[in-house]
Amino acid sequence: MKLDKLSNEARLLEQYGINTVEELFSYKSKAEKEIKILTENRKQLRNKSKRKNCSNLNEVKEEISEIGKRLKELRKKILLIDDIAERSNEIEEKLGIKAYDIYGLSEIAGPGVGYECECQHGTHLNEDHYFPEIINPSTLEPVAPGETGELVFTHLTKEGMPLLRYRTKDLTALHYDKCTCGRTLVRMDRILGRSDDMLIIRGVNVFPTQIESVILEMPEFEPHYLLIVDRKNNTDTMELQVEVRPEYYSDEINKMLALKKKLAARLQSVLGLGVDVRLVEPRSIERSIGKAKL
């Protein structure tokens, strides 16, 4: 019986001069070993080429440093990372690359609905294909240019499944004045949050992205946090647990208290609301990938 009646794995043995089942059986122990090595090598290669989900900048940096030497020789580098909005300066500084925001959503076209230009004064939306509008998510009425609201798209050129006034739930503002790059395509602000993520705490509108931006601007904290919203004695409460970076974490209570006060004061000025801050040890909050989790 010829080996071509067997699996692809067995065919690999041909290079060892094993062409028949009889030969395979007589070389069984050797063959099993060789197949294992070949399979393992192929698995390793597959694992290496697999896309890696990095949950923080240090992981991204580690991943990049694996191919670091070759990276320097490349003229153009494209780093695909989810939600760079508030992290682009840090990415640019740590990785030595220029980071541009790309906006897209699978319901409309996937990536490519809009790009930042070299001036980085907002994301130019490709209005020739997607007509954007901003509406008030409560009244559904259009808002004035420059005002924040929910982004809505209508397909202009899509065939098959065009969408009319599709509500993205993304909150942003549009600016129609000409960009310094010369393009006349409308410019979109960075996404402030999701209309369905908005929290109303003691009558104040709070977006998790506002809290995230405060954490990211302070070097003492990791970009990992947990927001616990509750209601006690008929009053809304909000507790923020945030990881302190190892180099700032200390057993001295005074140092940790000062850090906690600093963060609470910054949150108060940005949100206009008191937040109960709890500092936690590095890597103690469960990692999640993607959008802010509550």
**Contacting residues toward Zn ion, per CB under 5 A:** 117, 119, 179, 181, 183
Looking at beta carbons only, is 187 or 224 nearer to Zn ion? 187
Residues 211, 227 contacting (CB under 8 angstroms)? yes
Shortest Cβ 98–Zn ion spacing (Å): 15
Shortest Cβ 111–Zn ion spacing (Å): 18
Residue found under tokens 């900048």: 57
276-280 and 235-244: which strand pairing?
parallel
Q: What is the largest CA-CA distance in the chain?
A: 81
Which residues neighbour 10 within 8 Å (Cβ) at sequence distance 6 or greater?
3, 24, 35
Quote the CA–CA distance of 69 and 67 in Å, as a whole number.
Answer: 6
Amino acid (1-letter code) at residue 252: E
| Both structure tokens of 214 | 């405060």
Looking at beta carbons only, is 158 or 178 nearer to Zn ion? 178
Shortest Cβ 91–Zn ion spacing (Å): 20
Looking at beta carbons only, is 119 or 228 nearer to Zn ion? 119
Quote the CA–CA distance of 133 and 167 in Å, as a whole number.
Answer: 9
Looking at beta carbons only, is 174 or 206 nearer to Zn ion? 174
Shortest Cβ 179–Zn ion spacing (Å): 3
Looking at beta carbons only, is 24 or 186 nearer to Zn ion? 186
Shortest Cβ 61–Zn ion spacing (Å): 29
- For residues 141-163, one letter each, b for 16 or more C-beta atoms within 10 angstroms of the residue's C-beta and e for the rest, the string is eebeeeeebbbbbebeeeeeeee
193-194 and 187-188: which strand pairing?
unpaired
Looking at beta carbons only, is 125 or 179 nearer to Zn ion? 179
Residues 114, 123 contacting (CB under 8 angstroms)? yes
Shortest Cβ 122–Zn ion spacing (Å): 8
Shortest Cβ 180–Zn ion spacing (Å): 7
**How many other C-beta atoms lie within 10 A of the C-beta of residue 94?**
14
DSSP code of 128? T
Looking at beta carbons only, is 116 or 150 nearer to Zn ion? 116
Residues 110, 104 contacting (CB under 8 angstroms)? yes
